[in-house]
Chains A and B, each alone.
Chain A
Amino acid sequence: MIESAAVTDLAQRITDLRVDEFRGDVRVVLPSTELFAALEVLKQQHGFDLLVDMTCVDYALYRDATDRFGLVYLLANTQTNERLTVRTFLNEPQLVVRSVVALWPGANWLEREIWDMFGITFDGHPDHRRILLPQEFSAHPLRKDYPLQGRGERHHFPVITRGTPT
């Protein structure tokens, strides 16, 4: 059984919370509508002050998967070194969650990367742009349905020529 005050508290607040443990990682799965409130509680009341990483998984080709995207927040407590993984699932067309930049300023670039690679929109993000790929890029290449062959995106890019500017 998982002994964590934070998980017990979350279970009281959120009715359909799923908790499990794998290889020592304690993980909770919660609905995306409850996500921001839950992360806020974890940060303010349970000392999970460090957002280690956040990432996304596209489950389009995953066996027995019922949801399209999974968002993963890896939290840590710098005092007790406790770790907690918070996951939520998103489906088209509702690919939007509330940004956590207000809680952790460091989430800024992490959320931009997820937007860039998966096309998840972060509501309330202060600088919602692509980060690794050019702004003209039109697709989200870490999605499983992105083609691995073809001409790519280069026809979208502006061509810069020497000589007289137009």
Chain B
Amino acid sequence: MTTAPANQKTADMARPDERDYVWTLNFGPQHPATHTTLRLVLKLDGERVIDAMPDIGYLHSGFEKLGEHLDYNQYVTITDRMNYISPMANNVAWHHAVEKLMGIEITPRCRYLRTIVAELARISDHLLATGAMGLDVGAFTFFLYAFYQREVINDVFETLCGARFTNSYTRTGGVSQDATPLVVEKIRAFLRGFPKTLQDMRQLLYRNRIFIDRMQGVGRLSREEAIASCASGPIARASGVTRDLRRDEPYLAYADFEFEVPCMTSGDCLARFLVRVAEMEESLKIVDQAVENLPSGPVNVGVDERTALPDKTQVYQSIEGTISHFELIMTNRGFEVPCNEVYGATEAPNGELGFYIVGDGSNVAYRARCRPPSFVHFALFPQLIRGHTLSDVVAVLGSLNIIAAELDR
């Protein structure tokens, strides 16, 4: 096959609107500012971005196909790896949908514990998102302040369930470990220390001229566009959509707590940054109320309901525990699942994270569709960046907080 010489235009290129000085820049898939494995093809007119074409799929791992082969408890390990910035929120979302399908009512203590870990995960996710936003536009110190507090949260998770990062904390009908007094003490220590860091973070950037200039007015998204393009979470709320599932469709224990839903109307990168910082404060309030009012009692639903795996001491010391353990674990037994389909949604740090699960009576979901917020938000990227400069690409990318593992699944 012969190709045309570089100076000879093909029929396709000779369109009258084709400008010779427009050139194409490949951005990613391995680039420090993409943070994860995603690729952009940018059309540039000098410094100005005329168009952007996202090219995704580099991290596609078939998570939805795996969901059709792993049982309802095993699949929680896969959800850890979707949005690996806040795995706890994904665990809670998955089992929220599973329990909706099976019709399981979890215990009050479990509801509070899941609320606490989901809100800690939200703080941890927003710390990384805002920190990386600062890092990308040159505020490196800010990033270190944010990242230090993520370590504290990871320590809490390690004390709670033994894993810092890929927690796999929830189980059908409960959680893997109950919270010990040490965990509660560590959460209280975090609650005492974190407002100081939040104040430091505000003082570092809120009046920083360079930061404000790079964020304000960049990547504007109007309210109508946000709704039409299915945006959710902090990105929609920064554009004036006041939708928050924690308040609008209270799940877990959110109905018991007082908190605000921070919203802005300008819809630019700065608004998305400020909404995330404000949400951390609200999450702090929720965790505080939940920890102080943590109900006592069992954390998992009873053994006789045969939905939650029994405690190991029960398995080893009582015949009922052994039987119900085998009833759930053996391949020809397992959960009682209706032949029906549900959509269970939670408000994850990045937006609405839901699972559409089709049950077929067996131990394994027939279809486990994940509604990934990053996937929906990354589709917005071309319209947000059009007309801005090349240096704004990282600002917009950071403000959308795209996690490629969740984007590609």
Partner of A50, one of B101, B230, B378: B230
* A106:B341 contact, CB within 8 angstroms: no
* A49:B345 contact, CB within 8 angstroms: no
Kindly state whether residue A19 has any CB partner on chain B within 8 Å.
no
Kindly state whether residue A53 has any CB partner on chain B within 8 Å.
yes
Partner of B366, one of A62, A107, A134: A62
Kindly state whether residue A85 has any CB partner on chain B within 8 Å.
yes
> When chains A and B are docked, how far (Å) is the Cα of A109 from the Cα of B65?
19
Q: Taking each of A53, A55, A61, A131, which has the highest tally of chain B beta carbons within 10 Å of its own beta carbon?
A: A53
* B103 CB contacts on chain A under 8 angstroms: 23
Kindly state whether residue A63 has any CB partner on chain B within 8 Å.
yes
Kindly state whether residue B241 has any CB partner on chain A within 8 Å.
yes
Q: Tell me how many residues of B have a C-beta within 8 Å of chain A.
A: 43
* B60:A132 contact, CB within 8 angstroms: yes
> When chains A and B are docked, how far (Å) is the Cα of A23 from the Cα of B345?
13
> When chains A and B are docked, how far (Å) is the Cα of A57 from the Cα of B343?
13
* A107 CB contacts on chain B under 8 angstroms: 230
Residue-wise interface mask of B (47-62) relative to A, using a CB-CB cutoff of 8 A (1 in contact, 0 not): 0000000001100101
* B228:A78 contact, CB within 8 angstroms: no
Kindly state whether residue A44 has any CB partner on chain B within 8 Å.
no
* A133:B65 contact, CB within 8 angstroms: no
Residue-wise interface mask of B (330-366) relative to A, using a CB-CB cutoff of 8 A (1 in contact, 0 not): 0000000001111101000000101010101100001
Partner of A63, one of B60, B361, B367: B361
In the complex formed, the residue of A with least CB distance to B99 is: A23
Kindly state whether residue A72 has any CB partner on chain B within 8 Å.
yes
Kindly state whether residue A105 has any CB partner on chain B within 8 Å.
yes
* B371 CB contacts on chain A under 8 angstroms: 52-53, 55, 74
* B230 CB contacts on chain A under 8 angstroms: 50-53, 104, 106-107, 110
Residue-wise interface mask of A (61-100) relative to B, using a CB-CB cutoff of 8 A (1 in contact, 0 not): 1110000000010100010010001000000000000000
Kindly state whether residue B379 has any CB partner on chain A within 8 Å.
yes
* B229 CB contacts on chain A under 8 angstroms: 104-106
Partner of A166, one of B1, B57, B356, B360: B1
Within 8 A of B (CB), among A119-147: 130-134, 141-142
Q: Tell me how many residues of A have a C-beta within 8 Å of chain B.
A: 37
> When chains A and B are docked, how far (Å) is the Cα of A86 from the Cα of B62?
26
Kindly state whether residue B376 has any CB partner on chain A within 8 Å.
yes
* A72 CB contacts on chain B under 8 angstroms: 341, 356
* B345 CB contacts on chain A under 8 angstroms: 52
Kindly state whether residue B388 has any CB partner on chain A within 8 Å.
no
* A25:B343 contact, CB within 8 angstroms: yes
Within 8 A of A (CB), among B219-240: 227-232
* A109:B375 contact, CB within 8 angstroms: yes
Tell me the smallest distance from the CB of B8 to a CB of chain A, in Å.
17
* B408 CB contacts on chain A under 8 angstroms: 132
* B360:A62 contact, CB within 8 angstroms: yes
A22 and B376 in contact, given A52-B352, A57-B358 (Cβ under 8 angstroms): no
* A106:B376 contact, CB within 8 angstroms: yes
Kindly state whether residue B249 has any CB partner on chain A within 8 Å.
yes
A25 and B356 in contact, given A78-B227, A132-B408, A133-B57 (Cβ under 8 angstroms): no
* B248 CB contacts on chain A under 8 angstroms: 81
* B101:A104 contact, CB within 8 angstroms: no
Kindly state whether residue A108 has any CB partner on chain B within 8 Å.
yes
In the complex formed, the residue of A with least CB distance to B352 is: A52
* B57:A63 contact, CB within 8 angstroms: no
Partner of B369, one of A55, A85, A133: A55
Within 8 A of B (CB), among A42-58: 49-53, 55, 57-58
Tell me the smallest distance from the CB of A51 to a CB of chain B, in Å.
5
* B56:A132 contact, CB within 8 angstroms: yes
* B379:A23 contact, CB within 8 angstroms: no
Within 8 A of A (CB), among B73-132: 100-101, 103
A74 and B228 in contact, given A63-B360, A63-B361, A132-B57 (Cβ under 8 angstroms): no
* A108 CB contacts on chain B under 8 angstroms: 379
* A131:B56 contact, CB within 8 angstroms: yes
> When chains A and B are docked, how far (Å) is the Cα of A23 from the Cα of B228?
28
> When chains A and B are docked, how far (Å) is the Cα of A74 from the Cα of B341?
12
In the complex formed, the residue of A with least CB distance to B241 is: A78
Tell me the smallest distance from the CB of B21 to a CB of chain A, in Å.
26
Within 8 A of A (CB), among B349-401: 352, 354, 356, 358, 360-361, 366-367, 369, 371, 375-376, 378-379
In the complex formed, the residue of B with least CB distance to A109 is: B379
* B285 CB contacts on chain A under 8 angstroms: none
* A130 CB contacts on chain B under 8 angstroms: 57
Top 6 closest pairs, chain A to chain B, by CB = A106-B230, A106-B229, A132-B57, A53-B371, A109-B379, A55-B369
| 8 A-B pairs whose Cβ atoms sit less than 8 Å apart in the complex | A23-B101, A50-B230, A63-B361, A78-B227, A106-B230, A109-B379, A130-B57, A141-B65
Residues of B within 8 A of A (CB): 1, 3, 56-57, 60, 62, 64-65, 100-101, 103, 227-232, 241, 243, 248-249, 339-343, 345, 352, 354, 356, 358, 360-361, 366-367, 369, 371, 375-376, 378-379, 408-409
